[in-house]
Amino acid sequence: MQAFEYIPATTVNEAIAILHQQGDQARLISGGTDLIVQLREGRRKPKIVVDIKRIPEVNQLSYNLIDGLTIGAAVPCYKLYGSAVIKETYPGLIDAASLIGGVQIQGRATLGGNLCNASPAADSIPALIAHNAIAVVAGMNGERHIPVQDFCTSPGRTQLEPDEMLVSIQVPAPRAHSYGAYLRFTPRNEMDIAVVGVGVWVALDDTRVVITAARIALGAVGPTPLFVNEAGASLVGQPIGSQAIEKAALIAQLAAKPITDMRGSAEQRRHLVAVLTRRALDSAIARASA
């Protein structure tokens, strides 16, 4: 690993000032499970590594019925499933957080890092998109909010300017009878990278028979995680049942733009999109009906 300067920042402004001054010569570290590997392999060669873990804002993890869930950018995955209220309210996010790497990765890795690393196959991003999450970003001119569905621009690239940092991820408070789910296909149950991932979120009416809102997002079938607005929209006003689900799964399948690589062929991935969309919708609807 090449030498670098290590700066433990204590405020958002301090971290941003370093980014502003150093541009792409500086990288932020929180969990480090991606960055340290990139440094070791020489894929990134920053002169400065800024540790953000001592900044209070990026360590927030809070939930209330009005503001919903705030996940600080440096909150490791294990803290999400360590919270009973988050587990109960956002099981669709927990599905993803408990699949990223193994236990020892989840002890360090963060959803914020997963998002900023912008892998097309990131597990948490389709789940966050399905939950309509917003990225709270700080820069020299203050804060801006970017919907997670627009955050990633190409593999490894995001809307973040060189002198901006992700502070937190905001997940809206749940509507009545609404739940999410995330499913992925991997050859091995744990410690693997998604061949396809599907995040969904559905809201039911008070009778829990009719779908009033739905969102579907796909992972590993395009250069970025894909939000498939039409697939979710097709479910609105429909009674829960296999007909509506089949149609949404088909729309999701048509929206996928998979490639063939070492993890799977484009054909297999297209097939998996339909299967996983169906199953994830079944799971989210079952949660919302319970």
Partner 1 sequence: MSNKTVVQATINGEEVEFLCETRQSLLEVLRDVLRLTGTKEGCNNGNCGACNVILEGVLVNSCLVLGVEVQGKSITTIEGIASPQGLHPLQQKFLEHAALQCGICTPGVLVSAKALLDRHPHPSEHEVRHWLAGNLCRCTGYDKIVHAILDAADVMSAEVTK
Q: Residues interacting with partner 1, by CB under 8 A?
A: 1-6, 8, 29, 32-33, 36-37, 39-40, 49, 51, 53, 76, 78, 101-105, 107-108, 189-191
Cβ proximity of 101 and 109 under 8 Å: yes
Of 79 and 279, nearer to partner 1 (C-beta) is 79
Segment holding 249, helix H or strand E: helix 242-255
* 3, burial (CB in 10 Å: exposed 0-12, middle 13-18, buried 19+): exposed
Q: How far is the CB of 250 from partner 1 (least distance, A)?
A: 34
Nearer Cβ to partner 1 (6/143): 6
Q: Which is nearer to partner 1, 31 or 180 (CB)?
A: 31
Phi, psi angle pair for 92, to nearest 5°: -65, -30
Rounded least distance, CB 72 to partner 1, Å: 16
Largest pairwise CA distance in the chain? 61
Shortest reach from residue 188's CB to partner 1, in Å: 8
C-alpha span between 124 and 162 (Å, rounded): 23
Find the shortest distance in angstroms from Cβ 10 to partner 1: 13
Nearer to partner 1, 193 or 211 (CB): 193
Between 14 and 51, whose beta carbon lies closer to partner 1?
Answer: 51
- What's the CA gap between 1 and 43, in Å, rounded? 10
Least Å distance between CB 69 and partner 1? 21
- Residue 261 pairs in a beta bridge with 264
Q: How many Cβ atoms from other residues are within 10 Å of residue 63's Cβ?
A: 17
| C-beta of 108 vs 208, nearer to partner 1 | 108
Beta-strand pair 5-8/48-51 = parallel
Rounded least distance, CB 190 to partner 1, Å: 3
Instruction: For partner 1, give the closer residue by CB, 53 or 184.
Output: 53
d(CA 253, CA 271) in angstroms, rounded, equals 7
Residue 17: φ, ψ to 5°? -60, -40
Question: In which region does residue 42 sit, left (phi positive, over 0), alpha (psi from -120 to 50) or beta (all else)?
Answer: left
What is the nearest approach in angstroms of partner 1 to the Cβ of residue 16? 21
Q: Is 40 exposed, middle or buried (0-12, 13-18, 19+ CB in 10 A)?
A: exposed
Min dist. Cβ of residue 103 to partner 1 (A): 6
d(CA 8, CA 94): 29
Cβ proximity to partner 1, 99 vs 165, nearer residue: 99
